[in-house]
Amino acid sequence: MPKRGKILILVSPSGGGKSTMTQRLLNDFEEIRFSVSATTRKPRKGEIDGVHYYFISKDEFRERIKNNEFLEWEEFYNGTFYGTLRSVVENDLNKGYFILLDIDVLGAKNVKEIYGDEALAIFISPPSLDVLKERLKKRGTESDQTMKTRLDRAEKEMAYASQFDTVVVNNDLDTAYSKIKQKVSTFITS
């Protein structure tokens, strides 16, 4: 049996930089695997089922809740569900991998509560809400309505930053990434 792996959680409001940092970490550490969540939202351009998310229907999502298949799940905005699959995380942990979760503030708090010291939760903070708005606009993935919902939510989520193991401000991308990489490296080798 290999030594059990650990959990890495990147947490931030939507647009904070989780996907960007996730890509870099996956490129730099071959022992890290991405935890593919399930969601009922529609795929964005370039997103692949089973790679970025498992894109499933609301009925299937509800069925999986009933079957206790989620470590944690949430309904975000009107009928859009996201959830971390217990089997994905546990299978990889038991194989000795470090499993990386890109989830929101409440989900991260729940996972941290379950796994305690087996998990490192890094809060990625945008330099300001104005910058966050600009980045989301530039990303170009949101309608006016989902943009507003995400920004309203972001304001509340920022208040939780200090409850995580560590906070990294994502101002200059390379600087922020090198801080995250350092923290991840220390955690993995400890």
Nearer to ligand 5GP, 5 or 83 (CB): 83
Q: How many residues does the structure list for the chain?
A: 190
CA distances, 4 to each of 29, 89, 93, 97, 118 (Å): 17, 11, 5, 7, 10
Q: Is 92 in the site for ligand 5GP (CB under 6 A)?
A: no
State the CB neighbour count (10 A cutoff) for residue 10: 25
Q: Is 173 in the site for ligand ADP (CB under 6 A)?
A: yes
Nearer to ligand ADP, 5 or 15 (CB): 15
Closest contact distance (angstroms) between CB of 22 and ligand 5GP is: 10
Q: Write each residue from 53 to 72 as x if it is in contact with ligand 5GP (CB under 6 A), else as -, in one continuous string.
A: -------------------x
**Which one of ligand 5GP, ligand ADP, none is in contact with 149 (Cβ closer than 5 to 8 A by kind)?**
none
CA distance 104 to 153: 10
CA distances, 153 to each of 12, 14, 133 (Å): 11, 9, 12
Q: Look up tokens 């529609």; give the residue.
A: 42
Window 5 to 24, contacts with ligand 5GP (CB under 6 A):
14, 18
- Binding residues for ligand 5GP (CB under 6 A): 14, 18, 37, 41, 72, 74, 82-84, 102-104, 107
